[in-house]
Structure 1
Amino acid sequence: MRNHGIGHIVGTILDAHENATVVNELKERAREAAVEAYNNLSISVIGDIDKCLEAEDYVDRLRLLYGDPEQEKEEEIAGSGKGDVGTSGTKEV
């Protein structure tokens, strides 16, 4: 009786209407707080992009800010010999 009685009591408490109501209220309050935090979120990158877009040469400014993906691809294709030119991966003694 002891082993089964405690489990039954716990189940009754967890399934109680009052408990379910409070848990749902807590979930709703947490969701409302999360939505408010998201709405007040400030991302500095967005401000930087806005500043670039206000200028006439916004494409050039964006490239300076974030780089040019096409140019980076060309540099990768040109070779990875920037820092390892002349090295064979082994050390001569």
Structure 2
Amino acid sequence: MTFILGNINNRSVLVLDDFYFDVQTLSNGALSSDPMDALGNCDLLHRLSGLLKDATPTGRVAAETIGAAVPRPKNCFAIGLNYKSHAEESKMQLP
């Protein structure tokens, strides 16, 4: 089953329709509330997503502030084709 992982109030949540479910609560503490910890536990998140239809939501997504899905990325990659020299170097058309 697919799932939507989110970050609400700096807590990892699973989203179903307009509702969210706190991952730490849903997993009975097996997963931390830290969004970065949840990213390394996709198998458990898949299993938990199968429980959402019968679980009590933590709240409504629209009523909350949504944070970055990956709040502390380990890497960041960028391609600077918007610069003429980069585009020429890669033998690509200018944007």
TM interval, short-chain normalised: under 0.3
Q: With CA pairs under 8 Å and 6+ residues apart, which has the higher RCO, 1 or 2? A: 2
Q: TM-score, normalised to structure 1's length? A: 0.19
- In terms of fraction of residues, the more helix-rich structure is 1
Q: Work out which of the two has the higher radius of gyration on C-alpha atoms and give 1 or 2.
A: 1
Q: TM-score, normalised to structure 2's length? A: 0.19
